[in-house]
Copies of this chain bind each other. A is one copy, B any other.
Amino acid sequence: MRISTLSIGSELICGEVIDTNAGHIAELLLGCGLRVQRHVVVGDCEQDIGEALLDLAPKNDAVIVTGGLGPTVDDVTALAAAHATGRRFVVSEELKEHLRGFSARLGGSCGFQPSDKQAMIPAKSTVIPNPTGTACGFHFIHGGCFFFFLPGVPSEMDRMLRETVVPFLHVRVTHKRVVLASFLNVFGFSEPEVDGLLAGLFSGTDAIRMSICVTFPWIRITLRAEADTEEAARTGLREAVELVRERLGDVVFAEGDETIEQVVARHFIRRNLTLALAESCTGGLIAKLLTDVPGSSAFFMEGAVTYSNAAKMRLLGVPLDILDARGAVSAECAAAMAAGVRHAAGSDLGLAVTGIAGPDGGTDDKPVGTVFISLAAPDGSWTKRFRFGNSREEIRTLTAWTALDWLRRYLIGSRPFPA
């Protein structure tokens, strides 16, 4: 089955808004063994939309169209579809009913006015219900191709896709194949290193497809298993995941959508330990990431963002002679910060980072990107010098991620820390 997507919106053409619907549709359909071949984007222009629909019809069995179904003058998708396919543009009683129901539920208090325009669809098309918004979709067949029209709001689009479009297409696939996917998230190796370690792993088989995608600063490995039955796909996928994990070891910090801060939070809570942070060059980024996680107050006690030397001394008890003799960016200062914040907060672990994020402040001895990380724990303390990335943002991000990875490694007992 040949499938394409068509995303409609002038803001998508100019890059003011990034289209995430097309990729999401492709990923969801892939799970049913359906491959999307092409994405097309056009602006809210009747002629451009009509041309795109007619171009796609002869080359596809199904086209999924998103966007341009709203109430404003910009929204011309339904009208363009009617004109392009020689249909009349008519009022749908079913849609009128839907809009009246929606208006009644809002109690008329939100200033919601059912728009006549949103009740109009091309003649001889079937309504696709929208349980959560005003813009219903519709579908029709033209030139042997199924066209599905969905609103551009991602959450509404997603639900209508799953509830109506996917089942519709699925019963029409003659040779059904099941495709299941797993995602392994890696931090600490570069892409060529991961590439090298996994080389040739699935070269003999078509049943497993692997892709490696850099999502700075981490790498996502996607494994897809294809088989005739769900059980076979599941078994194949499990074995593939095991093989990859065996080769990569503990640089795999998570599976699926779990983030590194969620992993760290989960381990802290499981082990019933607490944390205090002292950040200089990351300026609160590590605390921000950890407190993104709901429930982080169970383990995160406090953080000190100590940009000035005065703050390092007063809040963390860093001795003046370390600052004088070694400087604020030094192993000694990092260690004193970690021990100091741990002592002051009375936490189990104390973590500190200090470094030069740039663009200014570098020296020959300590160029921009020089960072010290230190961890103070009941059973010891560790401090290490790093040299990170290019830009301020890259240096701060890599510092925060490396610090979080230290916490993760400490909590899963995977010491000593890697070089």
Contacts and interface: CB of A to CB of B under 8 A. Distances in A.
A287 B284 CA distance: 5
A286 interface: yes
A12 B284 CA distance: 33
A342 interface: no
Interface stretch (A17-25, A225-233, A241-249, A401-409): A17-25
Interface stretch (A62-70, A114-122, A126-134, A306-314): A306-314
A42 B282 CA distance: 39
A284 B303 contact: yes
B40 A39 contact: yes
B283 A305 contact: no
Contacts of A40: 38-41
Nearest to A21: B15
Nearest to A55: B55
A288 B291 contact: no
A340 to B, nearest CB: 13
A400 B304 CA distance: 17
A320 interface: no
A277 to B, nearest CB: 7
Contacts of A222: 16
Interface stretch (A139-147, A163-171, A293-301, A373-381): A293-301
Contacts of A95: none
A15 B24 contact: yes
Interface string A1-31: 0000000001111111110101110110010
A26 B11 CA distance: 11
Contact of A290 (B283, B297, B393): B283
B16 A220 contact: yes
Instruction: Name the residue in A42, A52, A358 with the highest tally of chain B Cβ atoms < 10 Å from its Cβ.
Output: A42
A300 B294 contact: no
Interface residues of A, number: 71
A213 interface: yes
A367 to B, nearest CB: 16
A272 to B, nearest CB: 16
A267 interface: no
A301 B285 CA distance: 16
B283 A285 contact: no
B14 A27 contact: yes
A392 B43 CA distance: 34
Contact of A37 (B24, B30, B48): B48
Given A284-B303, A305-B287, A22 B15 contact: yes
Contacts of A345: 308, 310-311
Interface in A299-347: 300-308, 310-311, 314-315, 344-346
A25 to B, nearest CB: 8
Interface of A: 10-18, 20, 22-24, 26-27, 30, 36-43, 48, 51-52, 55, 59, 211, 213, 220, 222, 277, 279, 282-288, 290-292, 294-297, 300-308, 310-311, 314-315, 344-346, 358-360, 392-393, 396
Given A40-B40, A294-B360, A302-B307, 19 more contacts: A13-B37, A13-B38, A14-B30, A15-B20, A15-B24, A16-B23, A17-B213, A22-B41, A39-B41, A279-B284, A282-B288, A283-B287, A284-B285, A284-B286, A285-B288, A285-B291, A288-B288, A301-B307, A302-B308
- 8 closest Cβ contacts across the A-B interface? A15-B23, A283-B291, A284-B287, A284-B284, A303-B305, A302-B311, A39-B41, A284-B288
